[in-house]
A and B are shown apart, each in its own frame.
Chain A
Amino acid sequence: MEALISKFRDIVGPEWVFTHEHQLRTYESDGLLQYQALPAVAVLPGDGDQVRDVVAACAAANVPFVPRGAGSGLSGGALPIADGVLIVLSRLTRVLEVDLDNGRICVEPGVTNTNVSAAVGPNFFYPPDPSSQIVCSIGGNVAENSGGAHCFKYGFTTNYVTGLEVVLADGEVITLGGQEPDQPGYDLLGAFVGAEGTLGIATKVWLRVVPVPEATRTLVAFFDSTREAGEAVSRIVQAGVVPGAIEMMDAVTIVASEQMAHAGYPVGRGAALLVELDGSEQECEAQFDDVVGICRDCGSDDVRVSRDEAERQLFWKTRKAAFPAMGRMSPNYFVQDGVIPRTKLPEVLTEIEALATEYGLTVANVFHAGDGNLHPLVCYDGRVEGEAARAEELSGRILDACLSAGGSITGEHGVGVDKRKHMPKMFAEADLDAFQRLRCAFDPAGLANPGKVMPTPRLCGEVPGPYRQHPLEAAGLAERF
């Protein structure tokens, strides 16, 4: 390791290689604080060439590495390998090209999500908007295929990445896609986005940006229960409306968020539904009255329509305050990220409620209701012996409920280290084997972010040699079925 560290110093300069414990503490966790590991070294390359050289040095020494962006991920995807190498991309913050005639921007991976929109504003914007968008980096968004509140209408990171420059784990630099869509060959770009840093490190990212919508209309409707609010969601979507965002908060979350955001939300109501329509002026107007009507029909006697941008921002502030607000209400919480088919919302929420009662813990629910992505916050007190373990078990049971309903263990946070143990509940051995085939095609030595995504460590076998072909009794086969 000492020889490797010395090589890193040559590549990036000694000031960008951290080996002291007080420096490394910054990097021991990502946004999921319950996992910690201290790397032996954190290296901060300054450009793509340095990333390539750092990775090549790791490959030559056969040492695995973990890539890290802003460290805001919520699945432990950037958790270091204890005493291993952490490659921090936060210095790669250049906007390389803005080409609005073609609706494209090319950036380095350390550029924050918000800064992408800033670079193409005011007439264009970059739609995927994870709640952490002020700090999270595009490289991290690519790794996690990040979503956000507006992805029901606009789609996810993967729908906006048109090209990547990637440093493979052996130090080779390749280009996947580019500025132009549909380049010939396998869609490796589609496979890379969301691979959680296990297929290589993106050093350049080409993104599609789109014109800012002409009009935005936002409302918050309060209901007596999440069931009523869920019914409103279904009816809005079934009416053919595709809202820019449609977010729900339950009673516990309303109380917590109100304490922090002071939006005048009625404490004691069962559910708040935030609906935002955007698009052309005429179409927004035409659909907005429909949405208000549906909310009332579904039992809302309190529909508040934002009168100006300030009020709209307040609605959003209240929604986005949900996570930090719960931090004030409860000493600790686990956030889950399960997904269910939207129509299963009422029954899964009922089940979560029953589970919370069974475990004697509070579960607050905030979710992207349009796409059925739940964020149950399982509250616990880490000082009470055994409570953390109970909360974790409850979290797992909630994911089981999502899977039984036909859903997924993660909608946008990623598997990382946190949910890899749940992967076998969602995928069979043959499925995991197919995943491993892809991983081995990109990184046969298994050096890029090992121990993430897959439930158990696997090695890549040799590819079998060319097959000796011998004639098949084709007619016999044809008769078989």
Chain B
Amino acid sequence: MGSTPLVSTVDQAAELLKRAGASGQQVHVVGSGSRGVPNPTDSMPLSTEALNRIVEHNPGDFTAVLEAGVPLADAQAAFAAEGQWLALDPPAGGTIGGLVATADSGPARHRYGGVRDLIIGITVVLSDGSVARAGGKVIKNVAGYDLAKLFAGSYGTLGLIADVAVRLHPLPLRTATLVGESTEPARIADAAYALARRPLEATCLDVSWAENTGRVLVRFGGHTAEERAHAAEPLLADLAHKSVVTDDDDLWAAQRARQRTPDGVVLKVSGRPTDIRTVLETARDTGATTVGRAALGLFWLAGPADADWVAKIREALAPRACSIVDGAGRLPDGVDIWPAPDAGALTVMRRVKARFDPARVFRPGTFVGGI
């Protein structure tokens, strides 16, 4: 196979995909390749690297239109110049397209929601070469079906994401984080509930477990961030080593980093806040590290690239869905990346795939239920 085809316009992508669709050539769209998603061996990479324009940034409207290949860091730098940001802080940098396709998220999801909540429009290219747009450029809009959400987290299996319109938020003036520790998962869980049930308007609320120590971290933003962090301290009465950190970027970078692994496997758990204790205990008992969004019930467990470990975690946390979001390629064949969804829902998902990608060229066989 020759070098990776680069497309620099939507029309080129359409032309190329139309040919791929007509001939049945499998395709996987690549941004920066930062997410390490395994692809079928016969599949042709298609790079969006050259689709890299910030098409619009409308500071007054707090919106932007970005082509798929724009590096997230570049977009954030442009927005920051106007005191704004796209409130997504995934562990991997990568491109906008990769971020949307994987619906990756970080600690800021607590306050701002995930990709699905911040994407307001999308342009996609399908395997028959058709270019379709859904949503728009305004933050409130119910005209037509919300295909942006359908494509967010579809892992490149429905079509190529060419560009997206997003909602932006003001960058907080100041931030401050209250941290507390304990070696007992139950105490961490109780402190996290106490915080989650209060109207603190925190920007992030995380728990973590590493090296036999659990932590709760709650971040505030705005004029009064530091005061509010101190005011929340009594809610962590049962925790040790409490502190309020104002220069807190590194703390949160470390939280995000726990969603990835250089040499192991990361399982993402779709859970509930009341699972915190079980998840932390499971991490402790299996020598894993974990980070979680306490009020959302989402957790990432990092452990060895070992099928037995994956099975053990899945068993301990059943019936919660545990998906492999990093390091899947390091596992032997036969380990399911995706747990099976509701059987009825899966039937509709298969029909969605069949309607959007009837030629089955976009990463066939790689998604849930062999889609």
A interface residues (Cβ-Cβ under 8 A, vs B): 100-103, 123, 144-145, 147, 151-152, 155-156, 158-159, 168, 172-176, 178-191, 193-195, 210-214, 234, 237-238, 240-242, 279-280, 282-283, 286-287, 339-343, 368, 371-373, 406-415, 419, 423, 426-428, 430-435, 437-442, 444, 453, 463-464, 466-472, 474-475, 477-481
Contacts and interface: CB of A to CB of B under 8 A. Distances in A.
B296 A184 contact: no
A438 B138 contact: no
A240 B16 contact: no
A174 B347 contact: yes
Given A183-B341, A472-B20, A477-B19, A431 B296 contact: no
Given A180-B321, A190-B146, A185 B347 contact: no
Interface string B182-211: 000000000001001111110000000000
B197 A123 contact: yes
A176 B345 contact: yes
Nearest to B132: A434
Interface string B116-137: 1100000010100011111011
Interface string B130-153: 111110111111111111011011
Interface residues of B, number: 108
A480 B5 contact: yes
A213 B199 contact: yes
B74 interface: no
Interface in B226-284: 227-228, 231, 268, 270-274
B346 to A, nearest CB: 7
Given A431-B144, A441-B348, A472-B25, A180 B297 contact: yes
Given A181-B298, A468-B24, A191 B130 contact: no
Interface stretch (B29-37, B57-65, B89-97, B305-313): B57-65
A474 B44 contact: yes
Q: Of B268, B321, B339, which is in contact with the most chain A CB atoms at under 10 Å from its CB?
A: B321
B117 A185 contact: no
Given A240-B173, A453-B145, A470-B23, 13 more contacts: A100-B197, A144-B142, A159-B113, A178-B342, A181-B270, A182-B103, A183-B341, A238-B60, A283-B222, A437-B352, A438-B147, A438-B355, A472-B23
B284 to A, nearest CB: 22
Contacts of A474: 1-2, 25, 44
A102 B272 contact: yes
B136 A187 contact: no
B116 to A, nearest CB: 5
Contacts of B25: 469, 471-472, 474, 477
Given A102-B274, A472-B19, A410 B141 contact: yes
A286 B139 CA distance: 26
B151 to A, nearest CB: 9
27 contacts: A101-B193, A101-B274, A102-B297, A144-B142, A155-B113, A172-B347, A175-B344, A180-B297, A182-B298, A185-B349, A187-B116, A187-B150, A188-B345, A191-B149, A238-B59, A286-B224, A343-B60, A406-B137, A406-B138, A407-B138, A408-B142, A435-B144, A468-B24, A477-B16, A477-B20, A478-B5, A481-B16
Interface string B330-371: 000000001111101111110110111011100000011101
B7 interface: yes
Contacts, number: 319
A180 B150 contact: no
A240 B174 CA distance: 12
Given A174-B347, A408-B143, A434 B196 contact: no
B312 to A, nearest CB: 19
Contacts of B272: 102, 179-180
Contacts of B136: 339, 406-408, 426
A415 B144 contact: yes
A466 B355 contact: no
Contacts of A211: 197-199
A56 to B, nearest CB: 14
A194 B142 contact: yes
A477 B62 CA distance: 39
A255 to B, nearest CB: 27
Contacts of A188: 150, 345, 348-349, 352
B199 A101 contact: no
A78 B273 CA distance: 37
A478 B25 CA distance: 12
Nearest to A172: B344
Contacts of B296: 181
B321 A372 contact: no
A210 B205 CA distance: 14
Contacts of A240: 83, 170-173
B255 to A, nearest CB: 17
B6 interface: yes
Nearest to A285: B224
B41 interface: no
Contact of A437 (B4, B8, B138, B356): B356
